[in-house]
Amino acid sequence: MRNLFLPILLLALASCSKSTAGLTIPARQQFVLGEYMASGYSASLTNTGSQLVTVAILEKNTRAIAQSLALAPGAAQSVFVAAGQKVVMTNAGQREAQILVVMNKGVEGMRLRSLDGSVPSESKQPIRDRIPPPASEWPAKPVDRFREAVEPGQCYLIGEGADRPYSAKVLARMGQIELRVIDDTTRRQLMGFGLGAGSRETVTVGPGAVLYLCNEGAENLRVNVRLSTPLSGRKVDVPVGESER
């Protein structure tokens, strides 16, 4: 199962061919980038924080290091990641680190892990392949802010019919929320990751796409959303049985 967990991520798709991610890497953790990419890509890395971050480009099959570098605070470096490779950014310090990553395309397979390679205990594996069904009815009055309780097995669906890009600032409260950007015509998932409790995320959604905020856990949670433009939204149920995939 592909893990796309991003607990503290500022993600904006600048265009169809470029994506930018502002990452916060907690103390003594690693951020893995491109774990499920089948093609090569380039990335510009800038250390915008106060902690040293080491960067390694690894061969996925052998784990051999193809390239390594130390990214000091304020430093920037461009790298090319070939097919069959992934990037591991390590924060071995005692404070969180911030890295700005600009990629020439959307990159699949992003997650945090502890220094020993295990998943941090506070995180939860999201379900990547589950795409909720479209909604059939929408509220008549669009709004630019939502504060909603989301029950287990339920999603909050935003933005059907939007004819221009919009941004959504999402705050997960009381539990992890799964964010999915879905093409509303083909039902293909364009982007997906998990947002841990207390974390904030800004995501840009292109025209013809909708945003799903799903509760795949066992407890009720709350989510706050602020939109750049008023849009309609409603709750939909996740199909029974898909949560077991």
Domain boundaries, the chain: 9-114, 143-244
Query: Is pLDDT above 60 for 14?
Result: no
Do the beta carbons of residue 200 and residue 171 sit within 8 Å? Answer: yes
Which residues, other chains included, contact 229 with Cβ-Cβ below 8 Å and sequence gap of 6+? 144, 162, 164, 166
Q: What pLDDT was estimated at residue 58?
A: 95
Q: Cα–Cα distances in Å, from 166 out to 13, 39, 161, 208, 215?
A: 11, 28, 12, 11, 23
Q: Tell which residue, 210, 203, 206, has the closest CA to residue 131.
A: 210
Q: Cα 27 vs. chain centroid, distance in angstroms?
A: 19
Do the beta carbons of residue 203 and residue 167 sit within 8 Å? Answer: yes
Do the beta carbons of residue 213 and residue 236 sit within 8 Å? Answer: no
Q: What pLDDT was estimated at residue 241?
A: 36
Integer Cα distance of 165 and 67 in angstroms = 37
Q: What pLDDT was estimated at residue 18?
A: 61
Per-residue pLDDT tens digits for 120-141: 544 333 334 445 555 444 455 7
What value does the mean pLDDT of the chain take? 76
Give the three-state DSSP class for 245. Answer: coil
What is the CATH code for 9-114? 2.60.120.10
pTM: 0.51
Give the helix/strand (H/E) hosting 220. Answer: none
Dmax of the chain from CA atoms? 56
Query: Is pLDDT above 50 for 3?
Result: no
Give the helix/strand (H/E) hosting 141. Answer: none
Q: Percent of the chain having pLDDT more than 70?
A: 71
9-114 shares its CATH topology with 143-244 = yes
Do the beta carbons of residue 241 and residue 48 sit within 8 Å? Answer: no
What are the DSSP E strand ranges found in 127-188?
A: 143-150, 154-158, 166-173, 177-183
Per-residue pLDDT tens digits for 58-98: 999 998 999 999 999 999 999 999 999 999 999 999 998 88
Q: Measure the CA angle with vertex 202, ends 221 and 168; round to 5°.
A: 75
Give the three-state DSSP class for 242. Answer: helix
Integer Cα distance of 163 and 50 in angstroms = 40
Query: Is pLDDT above 70 for 54?
Result: yes
Residue listed under structure tokens 């390679």:
117
Per-residue pLDDT tens digits for 195-228: 667 777 677 788 888 888 888 788 888 888 888 8
Q: Could you tell me which residues are beta bridge partners of residue 104?
A: none
Q: What pLDDT was estimated at residue 40?
A: 94
Report the CATH architecture of 143-244.
Sandwich (2.60)
How confident is the model over 237-242, as a mean pLDDT? Answer: 47
